[in-house]
Amino acid sequence: METFKKIMPMFKTAYAISFMGQGEPLLNKNFFEMVEYAGRFKKTMRLVTNGVLLDERMCGRIMISSLDTIDVSLKACSAEDFQKITRCPAPDYEMVLNGIKSLIKLRQQLKTDKKIAVSYVLYKSRLSDLPKAIELAESLKADMLHFLNFIPFGAFDSGGDKEILFDDDKEVKALINKLKKIPRNLHIEWPVLLRKNNYYGYCSSNFSNLCIDSAGNIGFCDRVLPPSKEYGNIFTDKDVWNAECFVQMRACLLSANKDSDLPLRCKLCVDMSGD
């Protein structure tokens, strides 16, 4: 908590804070204390959680907190698939769904304007999950559904790229276009399809975001690359915003030779195919 209190005043012009990363934020014993402290700085705040800890007590604390958006990462559309993908006990799946329902029920009771979102990572081999995930999110009465294209970070040599949804995949585009035509009350952010060898996207991470871990180490990627001491540390470095890693990546992203200069991990990231 003391580390968090030191970090917050360093970034007075920041307009949003996301509690997310390589671990589950709700496991931190000081989580709600951090949220309330950050609330003094009048920032928009979002929680990204796997939902396993969303029991009634936790949901109650979340709904009276200063959080603006709660984003629950759904891993599957059935308990069986959930167990296969996460290696967590199948009963945990129902706990996640019940947690989302509790959040929405409490929001109605408390008459708050917090947003309840669901995010879902899509794989090529599980394309049939697309309509199922929409149906599930609608049944849960979530406000938003964010579809995320699979990013094979750390799995380049094991065929992970075969699970990516590409822009030239007619089957994928046809299914998405078909589903887009159906009127819904649910706000859906459709997956960004990766363009092969044509990197025209804009990676906002390197220009507007800063990832910080509990030790003060920084990161320049808010997708899959965790913060590391090798990139810089807010407590030991004078100007982390212009650390060498940031400067090099910004130069690469602004380069006319983006195709050849981009690291492999970035070439397979949907941020390089977005608008």
Would you list the DSSP string of 223-250? SS---EEEEEETTT-S-GGG-HHHHHHH
| Statement to judge: residues 118 and 226 lie in one domain | no
| Statement to judge: residues 31 and 81 lie in one domain | yes
pLDDT, residue 141, reads 95
Amino acid at 230: E
| Statement to judge: residues 224 and 185 lie in one domain | no
Tell which of 174, 194, 214 closes a domain: 194
Counting as low any pLDDT under 50, the low residues of the chain are none
pLDDT, residue 273, reads 64
Structural domains of the chain, count: 2
pLDDT, residue 44, reads 94
Q: Where are the beta strands (DSSP E) in 27-185?
A: 44-49, 69-74, 115-122, 144-149
pTM score, whole prediction: 0.87
Q: Which domain holds residue 133?
A: 2-194
Closest CA relative to residue 74, chosen from 5, 29, 13, 129 = 129
| Statement to judge: residues 51 and 137 lie in one domain | yes
Token digits for 155? 């799995």
| Statement to judge: residues 217 and 96 lie in one domain | no
The C-alpha atoms of residue 189 and residue 134 are separated, in whole angstroms, by 11
Tell which of 194, 223, 239 closes a domain: 194
| Statement to judge: residues 129 and 237 lie in one domain | no
